[in-house]
Structure 1
Amino acid sequence: MFILSLYGLLLVLTYGWTAEALGDTSCKPFNTAFPSGSVGPDSLFRAISPQETYETCDDGLAMYLLKPEGHVKRTGNVNDKIGQGATINSTQLCVHGKLSFQVTAPTVSGVVTAIILIGSDSLDEIDVELLGGDPTHRSTNVFVFLPGEKEPMYNKYNSVERVDGSIAEKHTYFIDYNSDRIVWGVDDKVVRTLTKEQAGERYPNHCLRIQCGIWDASEHEGTSEWARGPIDWSQQPEKIPAYLHNVHFALMGIV
């Protein structure tokens, strides 16, 4: 989820947030359904987007994409304004483990719901992205910045896998990763494996934290085309919700 990655890098450059500054870097297993108070400065999860973009509720963590103010003008496949979405980070970093998360995502073209693992300093990244314009599939990806690069190699390790039913239904996705391979799955089924041998120097090798969010892909031509955008805000409510019902993290995940 490269848009959120850039936001994370901006926070590092602006506020000096490093791995240590984000919180407890010791890796511990956990399970949460996001009860009241579970997202905050002293909690396992911390929001880096405005308070109106998220809330805890009976369904878990509601993440909102807010409608832009005023008239939104479309030119080709892009909009002149984009909505602001939720971005929530975990405050611990782990070198390996199994992350499982249950999500329902909106089926609005141009909207991306994403749960990723990302380094706070290195920006190594392992993604699961749900495109509202392609509700029967999910996208998985890996990004690694090499020394001297200003941006990662796009689409080198991207893959698209089918989801039974729709992303608007509850599904449990997982990322099981260690120093040798990354395994992605949905509803207890393995759908993709990437090995260190296959990725070579572009295999993630830093501590990673969880980042979840919802974002508007309508700003740039290529991104908007990928997300089946732009969003037609004239047909949308003031906020578009995605729900992260629960998150489970286990050390040394085994599939």
Structure 2
Amino acid sequence: MSTLVYNFYPLFLFLSFSFFSYSPHAHPTDSINPSSIHIANHSELENSRAFSRQQLKRSSPRQCQPFYTTFSDPSAVADRDSDSSNAPFIALSPPETYAFTSNGLEMYLHKPKGELHSANGMNDNLGEASTINSTFWIPVEGNASRAHFDYQYWLCLSRLAKQFRSNRDSAKVTYEVSCDYVPGVICAFILIDSVQASNDEMHLDEIDVELVGSGSARWQTNIFKPSKADPDPHYGHFDTKEQYSQNPSYASFHKYSISWDSEKIVWGLDGQAMRTMRKEDTYINGVSHFPGETDPLRLQLGIWDGSGAEGTSSWAGGPVNWDTAPQRIVATVRSVSVEC
């Protein structure tokens, strides 16, 4: 029997990030260019818009719904080419990048195919990696569940959202995971917006838990929310490194949690609060950088090769040395839960 417990109407609004190398955002020394975001090409974006509009006709925004899975049922993750309307997660990467095992959901980073050259702290060929998104969103009281692709749909959903807002204005997501320690590799378990608005502006809000190959004895927390008011993007401005009190490595299973409401974010480890960030702490030059203020967030699970940009590779302890690294690097997701 499936251990999935869910009760929601999934709102399937996503962009197809690069299927072969996932990088949710650049890091401090990276140059800013569209390729660093891995936006889908024009035809893929149009297909995504069309499908989203079709889904909106039979979906309505809902408040946060409790959810739990151990991924013992393969139907929890829809293939990227399938109809995901009944699956809580969808893979944005090929089927060979993940598998259902007795340990849970295994996500893979495969050694790059073809020739690979390293120079200036980077690799010119990146491994094929796994990225999986939830098809449901977690709205918070006061956030309009926007249909980002069309103003009329956004207006309609904004009105509907007022009818379905919950009295509870918070959500807690817990990822029980482990990740192989390999310099240059990042395992990320995050909340993310990252969709296209009707005015062609990118919404890139993130709340992150990152397991980074620059050292397995610490894990990192971060937020990211760009603003047009920023003279330059604030990459890495809000990140911290947290220590383990027991089983001091991210190669061991730990429960990482993100508790989020309209005023604060709390990151936890194995049931203990580790870091609290309040909304007032996110202001830079009078501009708030608090994620999820205007949009709901979805869950994202990923493992990726950070070797493709100098700043990211340095941050991740890379580039990956594929002469010594495993041919297949593994992140394992034992469970995911949502509490409301």
Matches within 5 A, 1:155-194: 155-164=236-245, 165-194=248-277
By how many angstroms is 1:150 displaced?
Answer: 9.7
TM-score (norm 2): 0.68
Aligned to 2:31: none
C-alpha distance in 2 between matches for 1:43 and 1:150: 40
**Greater Rg over alpha carbons, structure:** 2
Counterpart check, 1:38 vs 2:76: yes
Secondary structure at the residue paired with 1:234? coil
Amino acid at match of 1:203: F
CA deviation string 1:46-96 (max 9, x = no partner) = 001111111121111100001101232211311111112100000111124
Amino acid at match of 1:85: A
TM-score (norm 1): 0.90
Secondary structure at the residue paired with 1:15? helix
Structure 1 unmatched ranges of 5 or more: none
Amino acid at match of 2:290: Y
Contact 2:88-2:134 at 8 Å conserved across structures: yes
Secondary structure at the residue paired with 1:223? helix
Distance change in 2, residues 1:85/1:149 (3 Å) = farther
Which residue among 24, 28, 53 is the counterpart of 2:65?
Answer: 28
By how many angstroms is 1:215 displaced?
Answer: 0.3
Matches within 5 A, 1:105-254: 105-121=179-195, 122-147=203-228, 152-164=233-245, 165-200=248-283, 201-204=288-291, 205=293, 206-251=295-340
Aligned to 1:95: 139
Amino acid at match of 2:52: A
Secondary structure at the residue paired with 1:145? coil
Secondary structure at the residue paired with 2:138? coil
Contact 1:143-1:152 at 8 Å conserved across structures: no
Amino acid at match of 1:244: V
Structure 2 unmatched ranges of 5 or more: 1-21, 26-34, 79-83, 141-170, 196-202
Identity %: 37
C-alpha distance in 1 between matches for 2:266 and 2:129: 28
Contact 1:72-1:233 at 8 Å conserved across structures: no
By how many angstroms is 1:238 displaced?
Answer: 2.6
By how many angstroms is 1:111 displaced?
Answer: 0.5
C-alpha distance in 1 between matches for 2:114 and 2:323: 11
Counterpart check, 1:63 vs 2:107: yes
Distance change in 2, residues 1:225/1:244 (3 Å) = same
By how many angstroms is 1:243 displaced?
Answer: 0.2
Structure with higher RCO (Cα < 8 A, 6+ apart): 1
CA deviation string 1:144-165 (max 9, x = no partner) = 1213669741121111111231
C-alpha distance in 2 between matches for 1:81 and 1:150: 32
Contact 1:217-1:230 at 8 Å conserved across structures: yes
Amino acid at match of 1:29: P
Counterpart check, 1:78 vs 2:122: yes
